Amino acid sequence: MTGMSRSARWARLVAGCLVVSCASATAGDFAPRQGEVKALIDEVSTQGVDRAWLEDAMQQADYRQEVLDAMSGAAEYHMVWHDYRGIFLDEERIAKGVRFIEQHQESFERVQREYGVPVEVVAAVLGVETRYGEIKGDHRVLDSLSTLAFHHESRGSFFRGELAAFLEIAHEQGVAPGSLKGSYAGAMGYPQFIPTSYRAYAVDFNDDGVRNLWTDPVDAIGSIGNYFAEHRWQDGAAIYQDARGPASAPASVDFNQAQEPYVTVAELRAAGIEPRGELADSTRVIPLALEQADGSIDYRLGLDNFYVITRYNHSYLYAMAVTTLAEAIAAQRGEPDDWFSATAFEAGERS
């Protein structure tokens, strides 16, 4: 931000409207992109959102360089498993997960009954995303999404879609868009849904007439269950299979890709990686090579439900953190954990 006031910047912009209609000059910090901003307003206004409201909202948007910096430094892009695991697998987060389930027992039981997603997995998503609603982000969502929409070199188009969805949600719920805060990437509320996910998968789980992920943990619990169910979560199926393999990950195997299961068990066996249990040679899995603090490799085979978790965040590290936190919460609750891993073996071998 410069020292110039918002009103002064707006006046200078209006004064520069020679040929272009002044109605198109609607973004204070995004005046150089006013054509793109106008196109966005044109698009969203066709969805029944008042044009004057949209112009006022975009006039309030501020450019944030720290948002672009944070995008390039996201932990999922730069960390290995043992470091990433350390962020989310602490005793306090595990204990809070147990307490959070107890506080919302009825909602968790209902989400497992209706959507087939284990309560610990839903709780673990909330634990990883916002520490059960404690840390929802302190960036104005309007600023984050506007910055990314009009200044991100490779994903601007994607974020323009998210900005459009965000404006629709704020207008629909009667909330000032500048008042809503979230992550640097525009993720929002307890479950950190991006706006298009909010619009597509949020549910009114407590039947109060509002889909409120900002402050309502019950709606958040139900919405995560719905999200996973819509992405084809398999009720009662395991998330991963443990495996054993060579000290160094074979170069012939493409590990750790957040894709639909893409390597057959037969191909992994040929590379020296054996499932710890029964899996047909034709079964497709996501081969995971998880680097430990001592440099050793922990092999796991992600199954269909592991892939579903990566639809929430397209990172194998994220999916493994959710799974491991869910396992830890289940263990502390004294619940059976055979739905996590398709293999039963000594707990001490897992890390």
Which residues are marked as active site?
A: 129
Burial of 26 from C-beta contacts in 10 A (0-12 / 13-18 / 19+) = buried
Nearest to 316 by CA among 235, 232, 258, 265: 258
Contacting residues for 197 by C-beta, under 8 A, at least 6 apart: 227
CA distance 170 to 177: 6
Place of tokens 């084809």: 232
CA distance 246 to 249: 7
In the 3-class helix/strand/coil scheme, how is 45-87 assigned residue by residue?
HCCCCCHHHHHHHHHCCCCCHHHHHHHHCCHHHHCCHHHHHHH
CA count, 13 A, side-chain hemisphere, 117: 30
Quote the DSSP letter at residue 332: H
Which whole-number Å values give the CA distances from 89 to 215, 297, 326, 342, 344, in the listed order? 25, 19, 10, 22, 22
Phi and psi at 262, nearest 5°, equal -130, -5
Contacting residues for 34 by C-beta, under 8 A, at least 6 apart: 13, 20, 24, 25, 26, 27
In the beta sheet, which residues pair with residue 341?
240
322, 121 in Cβ contact below 8 A?
Answer: yes
